[in-house]
Structure 1
């Protein structure tokens, strides 16, 4: 009774905007290392803008027109699913609409936001309380992605309804989890809500929100503890476990960094690196992800990785970069974004896979399949193969990346999280600053950063130097600048020194006036990734290279819009490469090529760089359970003649081999 009464007093006081006498010291948050810019401050350009436009013309921009789970959702008064799918969709369509400044997409997002806000329940709950599909009333999980979507909407529009509605709903959620602690999906995804509460606190300074975050994290699954004593080292082949589930695991990457804002604990801050290291060893893939089809499935490159896991892992990294400011996370973000993300879509983005495979040589529903627990449709390209969660959720991948490319620093400057063509407009020292990134990165090594200011001013740029770049350099003409405490003359080029070949940030402290250009060179070289059974994959910079396999696209189902497809091989794929992983540069040649006109950057026709290697057919390596058999243990031998093979970026392929057995030790 005392606890209930005290809590009631707190709620009444907080509801009136009053401080509570019970709190001797107001709760505080550890500051972020970097602050994300509000939605709209970064606009995509170049190939990245084309990628977002392609998404808008494909599934991303039209689901509300034909897919019942969005079109007829209980979230807008319909009878279809009223659980996670509309929040997922809004979490992607909102940033897509405002990054492209697309009036039609903005109107779509506004229709759903208006209905949700205008129909807030009398007790503060946002959205339906249960639905016709018998989802549990007052299940808090769907509100976690809803908070993310509405906070982005408020950033982009300044809609005055959003913040009060979210604070009111947070009080209801707090009451719900007092009566029924979080369970199932909410329990393993608690950090997503905590991050949203932190953002809400930054806007309102309501102490209640920090306490609500502390409570939700205490009730959530402790991902740090699980990975400090990790037991799921083998392929999971039966049953359903929340803790082996791939999407939950990808979302769990942010748990430690998110909790560190409450605790200040270095172990919490480092937990994301522990998770990444363990997953790389047990389930890692050359594309930066881990297998999960639907559950963690070992290191064989024929096992699948769910699309939801890819986009949620990216968002976890974007969040962790803001919290920690660690350049290593930017390296991982780029590896995933420029390989695993585009590889899982039909290149016009009118279809997607549920599972992608690093060695993906056939996509067919026929026969037995290698997936741990997923069904036979899992690697088809379609509207909702296997299950519709990815159909609703994939939309956040490209837009969230674009929105997190740059962040503000505590010293009043700007920091690069990931490199891609874009334009940043923001204020520094109360003055408008424009930063344009002109680049074909990751397909080229050079990045030009054009800074425009209205009057002379000084502020730093924090430039991320990836681990893989051996001889990076920074050049800036016409203006003096300092790098690493060393003053440079006008026009000097600075070689970027670093310790122990680790990714790092280098501060470029400059006096800006008018328009000035910084040129960053990040020379990339061939690197060997050692995979399953001693197989080898070829990396250059953030890009993974794969052998594209000529394919036949076979329509298997018409949908109200677009279609579902099988993809069948029409060429040989079973090659072993003539290379030694320890001397890979001696065996691989990279060439820049001219892409086809109007072809998306991530497509076979749009591939603007190739890797040439030599290999031999390996007749004993074939299909097993609807997929390429695991690579034979290297080294192997083959009497077949040597052939020159042309590999292209992994994200440009549909059917492919990325991890090869080798002919040499």
Structure 2
């Protein structure tokens, strides 16, 4: 694939200078605080796991504090790619999060973009133990911690919207967990007291009204540490003022693509309830609304609300990459429709939180599918450019108004801020928060392998320090080796997620086969663990077919979705500081129908090669599939957009060809959903 060229010399200079410059720009008092904060805290100890206090209902699992899980192997390489790309330099080339940000005391953007950036930059910095990135993050943290108003309000005084503060709260939680900075909890307590006092007269509106669950999540986090009963009152107030997502999905009416006319965008109704309730990012964030409220209510109907919402999104707007369509609003099941990058990372965060609360193995399956396909599929390989909208059937990246329901013509360009800059600020949380959620603590003081990637875990279980090392090339390979090393022999339960697709999975402990590894469950192994114990999972990765829009077929192998890679011709549209905006045009045919069915899918040939440093890149992809296909001349593109997939099965007189399919993210132009050839 022809890739955007890096401006290597200028980036090297930034790498050398940015860390010291960021620290030097702080006031002297803040520099001393920064030094104190960094001193010996980062790797010394992860903070303890706090369970839900009464009257909160207990979670199935609890996320480990940031820093407890650290990446290894290909995942570490992926985070390094992100740090060396736009995430590690955005403030140097994009004014919205630069020195004049309102969240640094300047007169620039004072809404969501600074907090969005910090919410991903901070965990990236600490998971990589990167002092340069920590210094960048610390500037935002330090300004927020040292500029709280006397009444408890935080953030720029030029903007009093509740919504951007909800994002900053999430970032401060992560900062508190990884550093133990004693200033965070008092600041949060003062802010929440101010919010409880003020909300009755200045209630939630527009974005904050639809994203109340993010605010509630942090209030619950603080309640579990302080026991302040007013925080429970605050969560109840947020729920009353927030949008009732469960009511919407109990009687879901938005079963067709949402149009600008339907939500009256031309009449200035973009912030009305109808527009915001069908907005993709709001729905991605809302997936955790019912589980968050279930912690307070304890009601089974609230726990079931998550699956009710996800089932409706899948039924009416589901796409083969694990996402639902939203470009900008819910857009139906046609895989030529797109999903916004903000929605991808916010859906992942909702799944991570919901998995912890509910303990349902299927949520881990969906999280992996999105993380290994939709997330990397919307970036260039070096992560210096991204799309606003990605399409599973993406045959051209160019300046066309089609197919977007309510977005503009730059929507699927690769660049700095195509269409709108929210994704530029927000995407950074995807990989770091996924890493932090790989392992969790269980309600009965054990450990949970929630999702799989190479990592190391350092935590305390029942008073004993435990180190867990996970070695795997998953999702490209099916073997997962887990070494358990407690500081002293210790008895506790270990839960291992067996994916719902994993037929005939096996689990061995020190070479002895367990009697059962039922798919779609968490298998519990309770024993006395000793240093050197090894657990081995074998998750058979077999090609499977998934039916979609118009009975189209997509090919999966475990959590990976496979696509036909269309030839790519990259054309620079314009330079954008340290990066650039790009169009991509097809240089090969794409309109194929597959000769595959549920009966023959096991015959698809699989080819494995060694993992490269960039496993989601097209060059050197570690696994490919070979399938039989024929061209379908009647299936065409108009204005750079593939027509809706013809209803399967289809006939074709074209000669048979053998196609090579690659992982979804490796193909920037791709066909993922195919018509099925008539047998």
With structure 2 as the length reference, what TM-score do the two structures score? Answer: 0.89
1:612 aligns with 2:626: yes
Measured in 1, the distance between the counterparts of 2:610 and 2:296 equals: 51
1:58 aligns with 2:85: yes
1:220 match: 242
Measured in 2, the distance between the counterparts of 1:444 and 1:641 equals: 33
1:113 match: 141
Whether the aligned pair in 2 keeps the contact of 1:449 and 1:517 (CA below 8 Å) is yes
Measured in 2, the distance between the counterparts of 1:445 and 1:474 equals: 12
Please state how far the C-alpha of 1:119 moved relative to its aligned partner: 1.1
1:592 aligns with 2:608: yes
Please state how far the C-alpha of 1:622 moved relative to its aligned partner: 1.3
The 5 A counterparts of 1:542-557 are 542-557=559-574
1:94 aligns with 2:122: yes
Whether the aligned pair in 2 keeps the contact of 1:578 and 1:587 (CA below 8 Å) is no
Match of 1:305 among 339, 344, 351: 339
1:531 match: 548
1:39 aligns with 2:66: yes
1:236 aligns with 2:258: yes
Measured in 1, the distance between the counterparts of 2:469 and 2:442 equals: 18
SS of 1:179's partner is coil
The 5 A counterparts of 1:498-509 are 498=518, 503-509=520-526
Whether the aligned pair in 1 keeps the contact of 2:464 and 2:490 (CA below 8 Å) is no
Measured in 1, the distance between the counterparts of 2:462 and 2:342 equals: 39
1:513 aligns with 2:525: no
1:355 match: 389
Whether the aligned pair in 2 keeps the contact of 1:461 and 1:507 (CA below 8 Å) is yes
1:48 match: 75
1:650 match: 664
2:361 match: 327
Match of 2:283 among 235, 249, 253: 249
Q: 1:427 to 1:27 in 2, by over 3 A?
A: closer
Please state how far the C-alpha of 1:492 moved relative to its aligned partner: 2.1
Please state how far the C-alpha of 1:455 moved relative to its aligned partner: 2.1
Measured in 2, the distance between the counterparts of 1:540 and 1:336 equals: 14
Measured in 2, the distance between the counterparts of 1:567 and 1:235 equals: 26
SS of 1:544's partner is strand
**Structure 1 runs (4+) greater than 4 angstroms displaced:** none
- CA distances 1:180-208 after superposition (whole Å, capped 9, x unpaired): 22110011111111111111111211111
The 5 A counterparts of 1:246-325 are 246-325=280-359
With structure 1 as the length reference, what TM-score do the two structures score? Answer: 0.91
SS of 1:242's partner is helix
1:17 match: none
Please state how far the C-alpha of 1:625 moved relative to its aligned partner: 3.4
- CA distances 1:443-488 after superposition (whole Å, capped 9, x unpaired): 00110001112222222210001110110111122xxxxxxxxxxx
1:637 aligns with 2:651: yes
1:452 aligns with 2:485: yes
- CA distances 1:275-334 after superposition (whole Å, capped 9, x unpaired): 111111100011111000000000000001000000000000101111111111101101
Measured in 1, the distance between the counterparts of 2:602 and 2:156 equals: 61
Whether the aligned pair in 1 keeps the contact of 2:342 and 2:422 (CA below 8 Å) is yes
The 5 A counterparts of 1:75-154 are 75-130=103-158, 137-154=159-176
Measured in 2, the distance between the counterparts of 1:497 and 1:112 equals: 46
- CA distances 1:115-146 after superposition (whole Å, capped 9, x unpaired): 1111111211111123xxxxxx4211111111
Whether the aligned pair in 2 keeps the contact of 1:471 and 1:496 (CA below 8 Å) is no
Measured in 1, the distance between the counterparts of 2:490 and 2:499 equals: 28
SS of 1:353's partner is coil
Measured in 2, the distance between the counterparts of 1:67 and 1:568 equals: 27
SS of 1:142's partner is helix
2:200 match: 178
2:617 match: 603
Please state how far the C-alpha of 1:578 moved relative to its aligned partner: 0.6
SS of 1:75's partner is helix
SS of 2:514's partner is strand
Q: Which runs of 5+ in 1 are unaligned?
A: 1-25, 131-136, 478-490
- CA distances 1:595-623 after superposition (whole Å, capped 9, x unpaired): 5x54x011112421111101011111111
Please state how far the C-alpha of 1:664 moved relative to its aligned partner: 2.3
Measured in 2, the distance between the counterparts of 1:138 and 1:338 equals: 37
Measured in 2, the distance between the counterparts of 1:76 and 1:606 equals: 42
Whether the aligned pair in 2 keeps the contact of 1:617 and 1:638 (CA below 8 Å) is yes
Whether the aligned pair in 1 keeps the contact of 2:507 and 2:517 (CA below 8 Å) is no
1:408 aligns with 2:441: yes
Whether the aligned pair in 2 keeps the contact of 1:27 and 1:207 (CA below 8 Å) is no
Match of 2:584 among 560, 564, 567: 567
1:28 aligns with 2:45: no
1:662 match: 676
Q: Which runs of 5+ in 2 are unaligned?
A: 1-52
Whether the aligned pair in 2 keeps the contact of 1:92 and 1:395 (CA below 8 Å) is yes
Whether the aligned pair in 1 keeps the contact of 2:398 and 2:583 (CA below 8 Å) is yes
More displaced 10-residue stretch of structure 1: 304-313 or 503-512: 503-512
SS of 1:552's partner is strand
Measured in 2, the distance between the counterparts of 1:375 and 1:56 equals: 29
1:465 aligns with 2:498: yes
Measured in 2, the distance between the counterparts of 1:607 and 1:510 equals: 39
2:516 match: 496
SS of 1:379's partner is coil
Please state how far the C-alpha of 1:497 moved relative to its aligned partner: 4.6
Whether the aligned pair in 2 keeps the contact of 1:434 and 1:453 (CA below 8 Å) is yes
SS of 1:583's partner is coil
Please state how far the C-alpha of 1:27 moved relative to its aligned partner: 6.8
The number of residue pairs the alignment matches comes to 614
SS of 1:47's partner is helix
Measured in 2, the distance between the counterparts of 1:63 and 1:115 equals: 19
SS of 1:511's partner is strand
Whether the aligned pair in 2 keeps the contact of 1:574 and 1:621 (CA below 8 Å) is yes
Please state how far the C-alpha of 1:584 moved relative to its aligned partner: 4.1
1:134 match: none
Match of 1:435 among 468, 471, 493: 468
1:577 aligns with 2:598: no
Whether the aligned pair in 2 keeps the contact of 1:471 and 1:495 (CA below 8 Å) is no
Please state how far the C-alpha of 1:495 moved relative to its aligned partner: 4.5
Whether the aligned pair in 2 keeps the contact of 1:613 and 1:646 (CA below 8 Å) is yes
Please state how far the C-alpha of 1:591 moved relative to its aligned partner: 1.9
Whether the aligned pair in 2 keeps the contact of 1:552 and 1:570 (CA below 8 Å) is yes
